[in-house]
A and B are shown apart, each in its own frame.
Chain A
């Protein structure tokens, strides 16, 4: 299998149809890296929500809710109606975010930036538990995006200090037990949630060399970081625990408490060898195989360490290491990838996706993805979507993929003339004899195309 064919499957969203046969994939790793290092055209073309916009949305929602509480009996009905409209508007933000994420994925020439973006969004999973935070959960991903090709130190800092992360992992509830605020108004105390997840999920990994004492010390060092649904990040020294903290054997901070010390500990965590290993392993598992070759993981971790946390050298290993390029496809596409890959194979481009109305995005992506097991931006926990293949292929989830394969054709009004040609273009050398035999035996063209879209080789990558 040629690099261009394999790279489309492993690092992108599959081939788009060309004339004739599939459109060619990326020529080589250098081309892909150059594209990645170049400008982010798709974010410029279909910009997502900025943090400023999301904070304004959060404030507007809170005001609408306040209005229903303060409304006189005469105003009550109008205030209720305004709040209901606001709630629908917030749900719409999630839908808009899915739409533009899909458009970028379907349009992307080699798809690698979009796949990396999804990976890092998932690595730094956030969840809007309250409706007022929905905009922020979209903006968090956009805030990460410019840094996924830079240094992990910056990516980490942006991810952790974003209002959405501080809200999601309870940092906004955490104050130093001996802080000036706690002494004036006792009650609230330390919340370790963010500190624990920073170490366990975002940097060192669960197998990393840290202890409960490190978590506690990091949580104390984090005190003072604050934000709210309508208020951007601030550092409030009166909430900070006094004194220095020792994290992984090194002392940070002191009096007065300073944000610089939090930055320093995040930098140190980013450059820790356990972080290099953890990130390398996660990338390899996500992109390549459930049990990646240790040589690949080692090479990526070494590249990371040698470049001081720069990510491009790590991606270079991922795109060039022989263990990353074996034509074995053990992973299952997550529902977002599956839908994007299907739309791309069916010949849609980003503009077509952006032209969908609310009903179409719901019927073609939001609802079927939920049935496939992936509610957009609503994960079960801070460790994000599961990687294991079996998590995505239960009877119910597979039925949802099959149904999508039929419905997408109906909803888009597609009538593919030659299902066999479609199978060849969508799967190239991965088309199995069993599928090649089944396709012409289907009763209708639509069912033949659905067989391809729901096939093992289309679902695995």
Chain B
């Protein structure tokens, strides 16, 4: 029986044969798809875009959220006379804003509506599909479908960073997945023996080769160990735990300085139902650390990089009874990087009056967050609009170019 899932798959396969499907193509390290880099950060839990990028110029905000710290008087940094940056992000991110390397899209959302479930919302965000296909039917992610169109892409082109392999990168195109926390607690003799016992099984041999390479002493952050191989198992790479340095971002940066062009990881903790001022502390500081780590550690490559930090939905316009916010609809997207035309809040502001809200409770989305992602791919990788609207984000109408790339 024909379902949308299989139609989608069929369409993709047809598209791939034209673009030299990476599975059928031997590893071609030479043909790297350009110099541009893309980092996608999934902000899990539903980031409150109205608090991170506060529309303090809209008088309704203070009325809807009387208990919240809003605007420059409460420690936020004014961005453009209307929007302000949340106080927790000010110290680390205002310099980036001033350098034109930080921007936002406000009042955006994926097509996900109404049920406001984290699981479904995140699945849809990573699948890149719309409400016309049940999200449980889609197994591959939009970054993977992008890879299938990139000539010269190899498994090294895209990294899913962190313990869980991200759905946004899963699919037919080979990708790498690694967490900087993984280490092989084996002596060098143990490592050699592993190679010998996996030698005759290609599945294990290839996986072990990658794992051994990734955990080779020189690949680790504090890898200046030139001493003879330790007899006891090597320690976990504790060196990654530096305050203000995000280990996932640092690992992503290391890969992106090399052959990788795309990296994705997720940051959690945005589900701020209660005491939002406190609850935001950890995730906001983590996001700021991730962005500054990327900038610092990408070095010259930062100029070629775009970072998109996206969440599954925004939160209610009104504060709730426990000084927090509940699951909503429209929200904000954080953008950064030298490839960004930053210093600007993009998007059309819908207003916060009762009649302007979605379902009388949430910020009304005025743009599909996928459209921003699609224009980013078009600009960074030259992906044709047809592929973006049909294969990568099926059913998307990209609309006019918001022109946010430098």
Q: Which residues of A contact B385 (CB under 8 A)?
A: none
Q: Which of A68, A390, A395, A407 sits near B208, CB closer than 8 Å?
A: A395
A-B contact pairs, 26 of them (CB 8 A): A68-B322, A80-B274, A129-B119, A129-B120, A193-B134, A200-B1, A370-B163, A371-B163, A375-B164, A381-B137, A381-B139, A393-B203, A393-B204, A394-B207, A399-B183, A399-B184, A399-B215, A407-B185, A434-B200, A435-B197, A443-B231, A450-B186, A451-B197, A455-B197, A456-B198, A456-B201
Among the 9-residue stretches B46-54, B83-91, B173-181, B388-396, the one with 4 or more Cβ atoms under 8 Å from chain A is B173-181
User: Is A393 touching B165 in the complex (CB atoms < 8 A)?
Assistant: no
Q: Check: A33 CB closer than 8 A to any chain B CB.
A: no
Among the 9-residue stretches B27-35, B97-105, B188-196, the one with 4 or more Cβ atoms under 8 Å from chain A is B188-196
Interface contacts beyond A402-B211, A434-B197, A437-B196: sample of 17 additional A-B pairs, CB < 8 Å, sorted by A = A129-B120, A193-B134, A193-B136, A200-B1, A381-B136, A389-B203, A394-B177, A396-B182, A399-B214, A434-B196, A434-B199, A443-B187, A443-B190, A447-B189, A447-B190, A451-B194, A459-B204
Q: Which of A193, A370, A450 sits near B190, CB closer than 8 Å?
A: A450
Q: Which residues of A contact B320 (CB under 8 A)?
A: 69
Q: Which residues of B contact A461 (CB under 8 A)?
A: none
Q: Which residues of A contact B214 (CB under 8 A)?
A: 395, 399
Q: Check: A76 CB closer than 8 A to any chain B CB.
A: yes
Q: Check: B118 CB closer than 8 A to any chain A CB.
A: yes
Q: Which residues of A contact B322 (CB under 8 A)?
A: 68-69, 76, 80
Given the known inter-chain contacts A76-B322, A455-B197, please indicate yes or no for A447 contacting B165, CB distance below 8 A: no
Q: Check: B210 CB closer than 8 A to any chain A CB.
A: yes
Q: Check: B117 CB closer than 8 A to any chain A CB.
A: yes
State in angstroms the CA–CA spacing of A397 and B165 once bound together: 10
Least CB separation from A371: chain B residue: B163
Q: Check: A438 CB closer than 8 A to any chain B CB.
A: yes
Q: Which residues of A contact B239 (CB under 8 A)?
A: none
Q: Check: A360 CB closer than 8 A to any chain B CB.
A: no
Q: Which residues of A contact B3 (CB under 8 A)?
A: 200, 206
Q: Check: B167 CB closer than 8 A to any chain A CB.
A: yes
State in angstroms the CA–CA spacing of A362 and B117 once bound together: 27
User: Is A395 touching B176 in the complex (CB atoms < 8 A)?
Assistant: yes
Q: Check: B258 CB closer than 8 A to any chain A CB.
A: no
Q: Which residues of A contact B (CB under 8 A)?
A: 68-69, 76, 80, 127, 129-130, 173, 193, 196-197, 200, 206-212, 332, 370-371, 373, 375, 380-382, 389-390, 393-400, 402-403, 406-407, 432, 434-435, 437-438, 441-444, 447, 450-451, 454-456, 459-460
| Interface hits, B251-297 → A, CB 8 Å | 274
Name, among B179, B208, B209, B211, the residue most crowded by chain A CB atoms within 10 Å (CB to CB). Answer: B211
User: Is B189 touching A442 in the complex (CB atoms < 8 A)?
Assistant: yes
Q: Check: B321 CB closer than 8 A to any chain A CB.
A: yes
Q: Which residues of B contact A207 (CB under 8 A)?
A: 1
Give the size range of B's interface with the partner.
35 or more
User: Is A403 touching B119 in the complex (CB atoms < 8 A)?
Assistant: no
Q: Which residues of A contact B189 (CB under 8 A)?
A: 441-443, 447
Instruction: Return A49 CB to nearest CB of chain B, in Å.
Output: 22
State in angstroms the CA–CA spacing of A146 and B239 once bound together: 51
Instruction: Return B38 CB to nearest CB of chain A, in Å.
Output: 21
Q: Which residues of A contact B139 (CB under 8 A)?
A: 380-381
Q: Check: B403 CB closer than 8 A to any chain A CB.
A: no
Instruction: Return B4 CB to nearest CB of chain A, in Å.
Output: 10
User: Is A395 touching B178 in the complex (CB atoms < 8 A)?
Assistant: yes
Instruction: Return A253 CB to nearest CB of chain B, in Å.
Output: 23
Q: Check: B348 CB closer than 8 A to any chain A CB.
A: no
State in angstroms the CA–CA spacing of A43 and B247 once bound together: 44
Given the known inter-chain contacts A68-B274, A76-B322, A402-B184, please indicate yes or no for A441 contacting B119, CB distance below 8 A: no
Instruction: Return B142 CB to nearest CB of chain A, in Å.
Output: 16
State in angstroms the CA–CA spacing of A406 and B186 once bound together: 8
User: Is B194 touching A399 in the complex (CB atoms < 8 A)?
Assistant: no
User: Is B117 touching A451 in the complex (CB atoms < 8 A)?
Assistant: no
| Interface hits, B143-171 → A, CB 8 Å | 163-165, 167
State in angstroms the CA–CA spacing of A212 and B176 once bound together: 37
State in angstroms the CA–CA spacing of A68 and B184 once bound together: 45
Given the known inter-chain contacts A393-B207, A441-B193, please indicate yes or no for A447 contacting B187, CB distance below 8 A: yes
Instruction: Return A390 CB to nearest CB of chain B, in Å.
Output: 6
Q: Which residues of B contact A435 (CB under 8 A)?
A: 197
User: Is A456 touching B197 in the complex (CB atoms < 8 A)?
Assistant: yes
Q: Which residues of B contact A69 (CB under 8 A)?
A: 320-322
Instruction: Return A451 CB to nearest CB of chain B, in Å.
Output: 6
Least CB separation from B214: chain A residue: A395
State in angstroms the CA–CA spacing of A62 and B8 once bound together: 40
Name, among B134, B136, B176, B177, the residue most crowded by chain A CB atoms within 10 Å (CB to CB). Answer: B136
User: Is A380 touching B196 in the complex (CB atoms < 8 A)?
Assistant: no
Instruction: Return B308 CB to nearest CB of chain A, in Å.
Output: 23
Q: Which residues of A contact B1 (CB under 8 A)?
A: 200, 206-212
State in angstroms the CA–CA spacing of A157 and B305 once bound together: 53
Q: Which residues of A contact B134 (CB under 8 A)?
A: 193, 196
User: Is B207 touching A438 in the complex (CB atoms < 8 A)?
Assistant: no
State in angstroms the CA–CA spacing of A402 and B233 once bound together: 13
User: Is A402 touching B194 in the complex (CB atoms < 8 A)?
Assistant: yes
State in angstroms the CA–CA spacing of A440 and B184 once bound together: 20
| Interface hits, B104-123 → A, CB 8 Å | 115, 117-120
User: Is B119 touching A127 in the complex (CB atoms < 8 A)?
Assistant: yes
State in angstroms the CA–CA spacing of A450 and B189 once bound together: 13
Q: Which residues of B contact A332 (CB under 8 A)?
A: 203
Q: Which residues of B contact A193 (CB under 8 A)?
A: 134, 136
Instruction: Return B391 CB to nearest CB of chain A, in Å.
Output: 20
Instruction: Return B200 CB to nearest CB of chain A, in Å.
Output: 7
State in angstroms the CA–CA spacing of A396 and B155 once bound together: 14
Instruction: Return B372 CB to nearest CB of chain A, in Å.
Output: 25
State in angstroms the CA–CA spacing of A6 and B31 once bound together: 47
Instruction: Return A375 CB to nearest CB of chain B, in Å.
Output: 8
Least CB separation from B179: chain A residue: A396
Q: Which residues of B contact A393 (CB under 8 A)?
A: 203-204, 207
Least CB separation from B199: chain A residue: A434
Given the known inter-chain contacts A451-B190, A451-B193, please indicate yes or no for A382 contacting B136, CB distance below 8 A: yes
Q: Which residues of B contact A211 (CB under 8 A)?
A: 1
State in angstroms the CA–CA spacing of A127 and B211 once bound together: 31
User: Is A394 touching B165 in the complex (CB atoms < 8 A)?
Assistant: yes
What are the 6 closest A-B residue pairs judged by CB atoms, nearest first? A395-B210, A395-B211, A399-B211, A398-B207, A129-B119, A447-B190
Q: Which of B165, B177, B185, B231 sits near A403, CB closer than 8 Å?
A: B185
State in angstroms the CA–CA spacing of A371 and B180 once bound together: 12
State in angstroms the CA–CA spacing of A406 and B183 once bound together: 11
